[in-house]
Amino acid sequence: MNKKLTEKFATGHSTCAGCGIPVIARTILNAAKKPVVVVNATGCLEVTSTLYPYTAWKVPYIHNAFENAGATISGVETAYKVLKKKGKIKKDIKFVAFGGDGGTYDIGLQSLSGALERGHNFLYVAYDNQGYMNTGGQRSGASPYGANMETTPASRCDIGNETDRKDLMRIVNGHHIKYLAQANVAFVEDLAMKARKALETEGPTFLLVLQPCTNVWKFPVSDYVKIGKLATETNFWPLYEIENEKYRISYQQPKRKPIEDFLKTQKRFKHLFSPEHRKVIPEIQKMVDRKWEELKRAVSYRQ
């Protein structure tokens, strides 16, 4: 069979050069063995894949508002169960929701939480580019400490974003779902493995996937894989999964690279290398190291 005819997410979308979002969507959908219905919150993926009258989606697709992907997927999954119980649908179908960090960490968090609590059978995928990139690069709950964002600009007196990223994995894990994982578009095989496990798990599952943004992180379009790998090699973005509340680290760098190696690749952190703000870099290193130690303790404690 011609592979192009079986792809669930087509080429020809309008994402930026060097954007990894199509890789995330394609990798996850291709991991599905059953028919898939997609719900997509407003954001980069939605606006670049559904330019009227065209679409990149080759599966049933629902666009919903920024804030209600969790509610939308709850509704269609419940309707499916009713129709299947009545014998009007015979197929086993999996439901997948995609949302950016703005629509997941912030605006859509309440809706997602409700869907997780109710136990609907779906996979939620958050592609995390650490800001409201679709609307100009404003700070989100996923924006890292010290980042120069549109609504938290850096200056001689200001370091940029003065708050740390929200720990979304802990928040989701607090709902006691069977499977959730943190992944990275630069590690595609790991992402595919986690997508397969999530899709094969009954009940709500969750994937948080790092997606370096060329436009707002400000790096050459050919470097998104390199920068994505540095995020994990510095422990800024560890790869791990939580299955039945047991933690497992899925990638460990033999020798952790310094966070400076990651920061210096992006102009959003350029100001941190000035004399006024250079002292912030050791602070960020301490934050990264502390979180890595916390993760390792969670792995040991839960075994």
User: How far apart, in Å, are the Cα atoms of 251 and each of 112, 189, 294?
Assistant: 28, 12, 16
Identify the H or E element spanning 248.
strand 246-249
> What is the per-residue pLDDT for 303?
55
Per-residue pLDDT of the chain (303 residues; tens, 9 = 90+): 445 447 899 888 999 999 999 999 999 999 999 999 999 999 999 999 999 899 999 999 999 999 999 999 999 999 999 999 999 999 999 999 999 999 999 999 999 999 999 999 999 999 999 999 999 999 999 999 999 999 999 999 999 999 999 999 999 999 999 999 999 999 999 999 999 999 999 999 999 999 999 999 999 999 999 999 999 999 999 999 999 999 999 999 889 999 999 999 999 999 999 999 999 999 999 999 999 999 999 998 755
Domain ranges, residue 144: 3-302
How many degrees, rounded to 5, is the angle at CA 44 between CA 39 and CA 48?
85
**Into how many domains does the chain fold?**
1
What does the radius of gyration of the chain's CA atoms come to, in whole angstroms? 19
Instruction: For residue 118, give the CATH number of its domain.
Output: 3.40.50.970
User: How far apart, in Å, are the Cα atoms of 108 and each of 57, 189, 206?
Assistant: 22, 28, 14
- Which 3 state secondary structure label does DSSP give 219? coil
> What is the per-residue pLDDT for 280?
98
